[in-house]
Amino acid sequence: MAYIINDISRTFNEYLLIPGLTTQNCSPDKVSLKTPLIKYRKGDVPEIELNVPFASAIMQSVSDNNMAIALARNGGISFIYGSQSIGQQAEMVSKVKKFKAGFVVSNANLTSEHTLKDVIELKQKTGFSTIGVTDDGTSSGKLLGIVTGRDYRPNKDSLDKKVKDFMTPFSSLITGKFGITLNEANDIIWDNKLNSLPIIDEEQRLKYFVFRKDYDNHNENPKELLDSHKRLIVGAGINTRDYMERIPLLVDAGVDILCIDSSDGFSEWQKLTIEFVRKNYGDKIKIGAGNIVDKEGFLYLAEAGADFVKVGIGGGSICITREQKGIGRGQATAIIEVAQARDEYFNKTGIYIPLCSDGGIVQDYHMVLALAMGADFIMMGRYFARFDESPTKKLMVGGNYVKEYWGEGSNRARNWERYDMGGSNSLKFEEGVDSYVPYAGKLKDNLEITLGKIISTMCSCGVTSIADLKLKARITLVSSTSIIEGGAHDVILKETKN
């Protein structure tokens, strides 16, 4: 008969943290959220550490280049979704690596032969009021001039009026040379009372814009996750089908780390993918694997050479794998068992392999529980899908603003490779749903609140680092009635206006 595990499969909602002694040294300003992203040997320092323990999920509705830039600027990492063409994914990676704080690649460009109608339509489409006019209409063409709202009057000027007839020509522009520092660019802006400064190379090709409104941006992100060349760090999701073609282009684009995106990581297909990376790139290219939920799955991927292992099957808010296939495990139980296996592996080999907890997060305190139970960082989809920086539409539904959010296992995503079992290339049934999440605003504002909660909880546990949290946290099981007790109860709540 089948092997039966009689222990209950538990979720984060069934646990609470017990306070530890909060010493005088245990204050929010002394708490560090740094955590390893990739494996390292005992006594060594990981080549890549996150400044906050968050990764955005490998999903079409979550992680594009805009999310990757925003999250890396705040200390975490995004894995840009792989369920798109190889060229498109590589281009997204390249945009992140080329990003410089304060230096903005122009995403609104026209030629001098375009018309005022084109200017207005482009402004409505992109929201950008400063338009670069280049010889070929691209963001890297030869700069001929710029157009701002001060150059035309839409109610009086003819919509057929050519851009060359009302743009500010290059001869009248003040520009900065490519290679200039942000401080130098800002000095030019302030000395000349400019709103924007085009940055050009020796051939007069447009490279960036620096805007007055972004003056303080570079001082507002002290936790930026940067590589040795001061570029933002970015990851990318891959599958076990086209990895031989996809990985080389992602590497050329500058990707820092890969992650095999699969609902079932306990698979020979993942081992073959990791072997391809090691054979062709050695340890230079880092690669995470998963998802798994038990000791056996972890050891398989650890021996295969994974740089981190992703834990969780069926616990995502839009995932219905458990409902459809009966496959999965409560996220808390999965993390606890895999973390024990990871620690045993570390004691045996001297190699520490970080764990990524993927799924099961409903409340912010669940994040602290995941870390206390042994995870090194947390991958989330729903949490990040709510923000301005996610790639989906903001809509008004039922009188409230929402953002679209769909699973990679849904028909909408058409990501059959994620559920690859080595057979025919089609999605036989869905393992995810198409939904909405409440719109929440900017990533930075929400992330600061969440991190504040995590830091406060860690102080209550008497720890100032994630490593100490793993060692010293005390966790208790809770009953269904104590869960009710933990919320507002036995009172009549006042109605509040949004």
Q: The tokens of 475 are what?
A: 């966790």
**Distance separating alpha carbons of residues 118 and 250, to the nearest angstrom:** 34
Q: Facing residues of 210 across strands?
A: 197
Set 205, 259, 418, 461: catalytic member: 418
The number of beta carbons lying within 10 Å of the beta carbon of residue 453 is: 14
Catalytic: which of 26, 259, 319, 356? Answer: 319
What distance in Å separates the CA atoms of residue 109 and residue 125, rounded to the nearest whole number?
A: 12
| Helix ranges, 314-463 (H) | 321-325, 331-349, 364-372, 382-385, 443-460
Longest Cα separation, the chain: 83
The DSSP output letter for 42 is: T
Q: How far is CA 407 from CA 232, 261, 442, 443, in A?
A: 27, 13, 22, 20
**Cβ-based neighbours of 4, under 8 Å, separated by 6 or more:** none
Q: What residues does 80 pair with on adjacent strands?
A: 236
Give Cα separations from 343 to 43, 107, 355 (angstroms). Answer: 15, 47, 11
Q: Helix H segments across 57-135?
A: 65-73, 86-98, 116-126
Cis-peptide, bond into residue 291, ω within 30° of zero: yes
Distance CA 39, CA 302 (A): 10
212 is catalytic: no
Nearest to 401 by CA among 437, 365, 454, 368: 437
459 is annotated as an active-site residue: no
Give the DSSP letter of residue 475. E
Q: How far apart are CA 454 and CA 447, in angstroms?
A: 10
For residue 479, which amino acid is it? S
Q: What's the Rg (C-alpha) of the chain?
A: 25
**Nearest to 234, CA basis, from 405, 37, 374:** 37
Cα–Cα dist 188/175, whole Å: 9
- CA-nearest of 205, 237, 233, 198 to 81 is 237
User: Which residues participate in catalysis according to the annotation?
Assistant: 319, 418
